[in-house]
Amino acid sequence: MIHTYLGWIGGFLFAICALPQVIKTYKIKKAEDLSWLFLLFWFFGEVFTLIYIIVDDNILNIRHYPLYLNYIFNLLLVLYLIYAKKYY
């Protein structure tokens, strides 16, 4: 049972680790220091890993909800940073 709590705590911490960058970018309305290559690698890494986890979970008939939280929230954050990079 403890591993479930550890999974949720880890998923939550990974999910929010980009939040300071998103908040800073939103406040200063600048994203010039963010690399396009970094943002694209991050975005596609999140997408492909989320797909892998979902497919694998369906095959094994289990659910890793902490991982879903992490990857979906990070996708939202990186999508905002990509938007900011393009329009700021």
Q: How confident is the model at residue 7 (pLDDT cuts 50, 70, 90)?
A: confident
Q: What pLDDT is recorded for position 18? A: 93
The pLDDT tens digits of the residues spanning 21-55 come to 999 999 999 999 999 999 999 999 999 999 999 99
8 pLDDT higher than 90: no
Q: Tell me 63's DSSP state.
A: -
Instruction: Return the closest-CA partner of residue 68 out of 15, 30, 31.
Output: 15
